[in-house]
Amino acid sequence: MKKTNIIYWIATGLFAFFMFGSAIPDILVMPDAVQGFKDIGMPAYLIPLVGWAKLFGVIGILLPGYPRLREWAYAGLIIDVLGAIYSIAMSGKPPVMWAPIFIIPLVGFISYAYAHKRAQAQSTNRSVVRPETAVAGR
């Protein structure tokens, strides 16, 4: 369980850091974000929407106790990054511009997989009856 937790928190921390780091320029409609959207042919009015969606997604993967919200947050964030990679690639940019970005969804997939491993381990731990806590006759 300890190894699972360490891998989960490293991957989740990195994924949240990447996504939060890209959400802030979008929310603030910074010139670099505007130029990035313009370069791939996307309208500027989508920038704040995408930024807020990323921010809420990061909150969703970090917020404990809401597994369905976490599922949707992972899906949205992964779709955002894969869509960005696809858009950059289709806009004619060379692979050196978009191929390294594949690290982000890879880290997201690792975080997602280990979130499920943690949840499964926690549910198994809860269902085990420990002899010292068991009550005779029940």
Mean pLDDT of 103-130: 87
- 130, part of any domain: no
Residue 135 lies in a domain: no
- Cβ contacts of 63 within 8 Å, gap of 6 or more: 69, 70
The verdict on residue 108 lying in a domain is yes
Which domain, by its residues, includes 115? 2-124
pLDDT tens-digit profile of 12-63? 999 999 999 999 999 999 999 999 999 999 999 999 999 999 999 999 999 9
Percent of the chain with pLDDT strictly greater than 70:
91
Mean pLDDT of the region 118-127? 81
Tokens of 56: 């809420």
Q: How many whole angstroms separate alpha carbon 136 and alpha carbon 6?
A: 37
pLDDT of residue 52: 99
Q: What is the pLDDT of residue 129?
A: 55
Provide the 8-state DSSP code for 134. Answer: -
111 close to 98: Cβ distance less than 8 angstroms: no
Total of domains in the chain: 1
pLDDT (tens digit per residue) in 75-112: 999 999 999 999 999 999 999 999 999 999 999 999 99
Q: Is the pLDDT of residue 137 over 90?
A: no
pLDDT recorded at residue 55: 98
129 within a domain of the structure (yes/no) = no
Q: Evaluate whether residue 55 is within a structural domain.
A: yes
How many other C-beta atoms lie within 10 A of the C-beta of residue 49?
11
In a domain, 17, yes or no: yes
C-alpha span between 63 and 45 (Å, rounded):
29
What's residue 125's pLDDT? Answer: 74
Give the whole-angstrom CA distance, residue 131 versus residue 45: 61
Q: Supply the pTM of this predicted model.
A: 0.85
Which are the contacts of 24, defined by CB distance < 8 A and separation ≥ 6? 51, 55
Report yes or no on 71 lying in a domain.
yes
The type of residue at 5 is N
**What integer pLDDT is reported at residue 13 of this predicted model?**
98
